[in-house]
A and B are shown apart, each in its own frame.
Chain A
Amino acid sequence: MDLGFILTNAVVLACIYGTLAIGISITWSSLGLINLAYGFIFAFAGYGAWLAAQYVLTNGAVVLAAGILTGALGGLIVCALAFIPIHDKPNFTVRGLIATLAINLIGTQSLMWWFGPRSKSLPEVFGTWKIPLGNMVLTADKVGNVVASIAMLAIVLKWMRSSRRGLEIRAMMMNPHAASIVGIGVRRTGFYVLAITGGLAGLASVLLSQTYYIAPFGGLTPMIKGVSIALCGGLGSVSGAVIAAMVLGLNEALTSVVLGGQYVLITQFLLIIAVLLVRPRGIAGILDKAREA
């Protein structure tokens, strides 16, 4: 068993899933929406990046930017269809869940109808170089994945800490009722939140496509993993999502080496169930008067 291989894989997976989970977590805690259309946004962004690579340039930066932008566009579609019309109706949590699930199903089917069921592969975004490090080899895609996702998350979190819109979003995450009292418009904040989390999904999509392929239904498993990591880390907590992503990434890398890739989801959910049994609010879930409904 190659420990170095497991570790690098774990870190790479943790970065990608962490990006997804943080997007889901921010959406939930600021808007009260469990965005089940994330899988669609993920695949949509993958195809956006593919189109860019096909018709514009195969340059890594272009492909990455195209993925992020199409992801943000996907987020805006979700915002227009599933958030703005129903966010102030009774029982929004369940309605939003169903609406986003519907977008996911319709969206992935349309992708299948438009692009066909054959999966596409993206060019090597980060090139093909390698760094030997001790007895492991750091390939370009692994290093690039880690650097890109950490950089993107750092930018997003920094923006949320220092800008005015970020202040709005954080205020919404902590107390939506008080946020509306100070004059924060829920719909406009929803617009920003969904665009940004969509962009995160787009990034994750391009990064994951360095290992897997882009397929219409390729977003489903990452979304399930993202949602479960967000749950495991505690919905609404960014640090919790990071920790949970590390733990589950390690688990995934270990399982696929020790038991085989087909058992990944099984061990993953067993682990999540164990965590939630011990700590029902997740690893770093907020106990205060955060969003409960």
Chain B
Amino acid sequence: MMPALGDAAALVLPDRQVSGPGSAAAKKEVLNVKGLSAGYGPMRVIHDLDLIVYAGERVGLVGLNGHGKSTLFYAIAGLTGWQRGSIRLNGTEVGRTRSQGPGRYTHLVVRRGLALIPQGDEIFHGLTAEEHLDSGAFTPRAWRERAERKRKVLDIFPPLRKLLHIPVGRLSGGERRMVSIGRGLMAEASLFLVDEPSLGLAPKIGKGVMAALMSVELGDSAMVIAEQNISLLQGRVDRIIGMHVGKLKGEASVGLGFQTRREA
């Protein structure tokens, strides 16, 4: 049934000439989503969506409020009310058809290499920043290497050094965002899903956070950043995908589509 509907599918198949780093042969799929639908109760937010993300890639996901960016991320993590369709993370199927139990399998998906940095501040108010970073290093290997990982995260967000022993509930919005992103980066992940990192922050701080995200060395992992402010992504991600009413609507390498639109 899917190919017939096809507009999303046809547009979204990544264009190998335009997008992604490295040679086409070396590309490894980190995330392969096929025919994903998801939503909450009677509401269907994601409609038959296909998406492939390759290793080493930084992808921007743009779209208006309420068009399914966060829900797409939550569906990959198994946190939506219901979902169906295939989600392959590093070649392992983590998607399943389910009608209830949001979050029941999320920890298994996380163990397979997903780091979700959620929208807003999903933080633990009473834990200190340091405990926070520890809680991000959840897989056994990350936990053993957590001192090393913490050092790396602190290199990315130097202001956190002074805040390590303060309960996160007492930090400012920008500091919380750093903690929240830092927690995500602590994980031993091959796919980072960053949901609106600049949301609710002053423009300058938002830019700083975004610059820090861009400075993360991905290696073999990949990063998808959902963002409404295209100018923050421009020139810094490998490709940008538009999202509209629960479907992916075309994509562009950064140099092309969105730039021309801005000039017009």
Contact = CB atoms under 8 A, between A and B. Distances in A.
B103 A180 contact: yes
A182 B135 contact: yes
Contacts of B116: 181
Nearest to A176: B103
A288 B125 contact: yes
Contacts of B107: 180, 183-186
Contact of B102 (A88, A167, A175, A184): A88
Interface in B6-39: none
B152 to A, nearest CB: 17
A174 B127 contact: yes
Contacts of A88: 100-104
Nearest to B81: A90
Interface size for chain B: under 10, 10 to 19, 20 to 34, or 35 or more residues? 20 to 34
A174 B143 CA distance: 21
B143 A164 contact: yes
B241 interface: no
A6 B58 CA distance: 69
A167 B100 contact: no
A169 B143 CA distance: 16
Nearest to B180: A178
A177 interface: yes
Contacts of B110: 181-183
Interface string A158-195: 00000010011011001101111111111000000000
Contacts of A90: 100
Contacts of A186: 103-104, 107
A170 B102 CA distance: 21
Contacts of B79: 177, 180-181
| Residue of A175, A183, A288 with most partner-chain B CB within 10 A | A183
A289 interface: yes
Interface of B: 77, 79, 100-104, 106-108, 110-111, 116, 118, 122-127, 131, 134-136, 138-139, 143, 169, 183, 187
Shortest 9 CB-CB distances between A and B: which pairs? Answer: A183-B110, A178-B122, A88-B101, A183-B138, A174-B124, A185-B107, A180-B103, A180-B106, A183-B107
